[in-house]
Amino acid sequence: MDKKISFPGWLKSLSFNSGPKYMALADAIEQAVKNGSLHSGDKLPTHRWLADVLNVTIGTITRGYAEAERRRLITARVGSGTFVTGKVWQQAQFNVPQKPEPTLIDMSLTLQVPAPREEILAETLQMIASDPLRMTSLLDYLPETGLERHRSIIAGWLATLSIHVNPDNILITNGGQHGNMMALQAATRPGDTIVSESLTYPGFINAARQWQTHHIGLPMDEHGLIPEALEQCCLQHRPKLLYLMPSLQNPTALIMPIQRRERIIEIARRHKLIVFMAGSSYPNPGGPRLLYDI
């Protein structure tokens, strides 16, 4: 860099002598975090101000900030600015809280209401135990997509909900967290920007961090994600994917009105935004019990 910058102080280590300018900016932020010039919670200059000071394009600053966020050094908050996070990536990403005292009501997780799942599981296990051939097939190595008969059963169950899908297009995962990661890996690449409601499932945020994507939480109101905030984010950050829970949103349990859903879909279509639909739905309890006939 030809001219010396006296403010902010952490920019003194910035040099444009070699390599891409945006990488030099990210390196300067990383060095400032390491030497204590920047601390967790510090607010960074706006893209336009810093571009003017450094005599570079706003795009250079945007790419530099994005690279620093990919390194988990900073985070962008829509409407607030860009802040230093420090080295939070060194902390444990996946953990399950200990069960609280039985006399307490745990509000930290959104859990299903009590249901006869234990009874259904017991019946299923008894059925498997009475059929040695079926038990053998379940204990053997399975296709990475899951057994064909399982996928056909799931397709039949979805058909009762007016969701018609080919069993070949169904992938059985080892739980929801595995499903989140597989969806992210299929639809995005490290460094992409993904968005969700500001309050969302913590496991998805952890998956996004592990996949090294840039996650932005968007403002909500009593009906869920605010469409205007999504529109602004699409124009400013060009996200690749929206993680959305319109029904029984976790952790707020909100149900998004149909008009709000249609507005969000319209925005997503215009900006070519992939919508990753998650959340809970409760089919007719009298639906096909063959779902458990494994």
Q: CA nearest 224: which of 266, 264, 270, 274?
A: 264
Model pLDDT for residues 227-281, shown as the tens digit of each residue: 999 999 999 889 999 999 998 888 888 999 999 999 999 999 999 999 998 865 4
Please list, in sequence order, all residues whose beta carbon lies within 8 angstroms of the beta carbon of residue 6, skipping any fewer than 6 positions away.
12
Burial call 258-269: b when 16+ CB within 10 Å, e when fewer: eebbebbeebbe
Model confidence pLDDT, tens digit, residues 94-133: 555 666 666 776 666 666 666 777 888 899 899 989 998 8
d(CA 209, CA 92): 11
CB burial readout 16-55, b (16+ within 10 A) else e:
eeeeebbebbbbbbbebbeeebbeeebebbebeebbeebe
Domains of the chain: 9-90 (1.10.10.10), 117-141+173-294 (3.40.640.10)
* Residue in 95, 38, 123 with CA at minimum distance from that of residue 294: 123
d(CA 44, CA 62): 12
Whether the full predicted model's pTM is greater than 0.75, yes or no, is: no
Query: What per-residue confidence (pLDDT) applies to 97?
Result: 60
Tens digits of per-residue pLDDT, 205-233?
A: 889 888 888 899 999 999 999 999 999 99
How far apart (Å, rounded) are the C-alpha atoms in residues 96 and 272? 35
Instruction: Work out the number of other CB atoms within 10 angstroms of the CB of residue 218.
Output: 23
